[in-house]
Amino acid sequence: MSEKTIPILPCRTIQPVLDFYTTLGFEVTFQQKSPNVYAAVALGGIQLHFFGMKDYEPTESFSTCIVQTDDIDGLHETFRTRLKAAHGRVPVRGLPRIGSLKDTSHGVRQFLMTDPGGNCIRVGQQMSDDQHHRPVPRETFDRAVHQASLLADSREDLTGAAKIIDRALRPRDERPTPVQLLRLLVLRADVATRLGDEEAAASALAAAKAVHLTAEEQESVHDDLARLTQLLS
């Protein structure tokens, strides 16, 4: 037996969705206007189908699917490069948008991408055989990073994520390590950028740039430093 699952995702109008995916390097493999609006795109082993809904509201969409890859870093870089070449920037808020690369608590390295139809494509690579979520960190600042990341990426609650980080960064007797501080500040800058809060983003980026890390510490926050570079560019 050989089975294949192909998601069929909604959109209000087909063409902006097709334009988005062809920008990423997908090929339109099928398109019809009647009797129903329908189209399909493909890239390697990825196949996505779409259907039109006249009264559909993309900003209120809950549609999502998972794409599994064995080259998550390469695919993320390709998509970012193509989007920047087409639009002069990498869209991180509104529709469409693409998120940053992150290691999840269940052994998957992933990024989230939302198309003009509001469909969230979760692109991931399994990095561990253990797919169970790791326990929530007990340490104050690690827990803040964990919770804020979940709110920002899984729930799109950017305001809630900002509140968690700001609370963690308030002066107190307990202070974060340089690694924890860097992660909190980069995440705060990312959230502020996605909220369109340029002042908060600039402040967090300036503070993140000032954090001194050893070579070993830099290696442990490779993704955060990469995101910092992206936000500064």
pLDDT at 91 exceeding the cut of 80: yes
Q: Please report, in angstroms and rounded to a whole number, the separation of the first and last CA atoms in the chain.
A: 49
Each residue's pLDDT tens digit, 4-39: 999 999 999 999 999 999 999 999 999 999 999 999
Going by pLDDT thresholds of 50, 70 and 90, the confidence category of residue 171 is confident
pLDDT (tens digit per residue) in 98-149: 999 999 888 899 999 999 999 999 999 999 887 777 788 999 999 999 999 9
DSSP of 189-204: HHHHHHHT-HHHHHHH
Determine contact, residues 58/116, Cβ cutoff 8 Å.
yes
| Average of per-residue pLDDT across 151-155 | 88
Cβ atoms within 10 A of the Cβ of 122, count? 18
**Edge to edge, what strands does the sheet with 8-11 contain?**
8-11, 46-52, 38-43, 27-32
Q: Rounded to 5 degrees, what angle do the CA atoms 61, 118, 156 make?
A: 70
What pLDDT, on the 0 to 100 scale, is given for residue 132?
A: 75
Predicted confidence (pLDDT) at residue 172 exceeds the cutoff of 80: yes
Q: What percent of the chain has pLDDT over 90?
A: 89
How many Cα atoms within 13 Å fall on the side-chain side of residue 109? 13
For 53-133, list the strands marked E by DSSP: 64-68, 97-98, 102-103, 108-114, 120-126
Alpha-carbon 23 to chain mean position: 18
208 has a pLDDT exceeding 80: yes
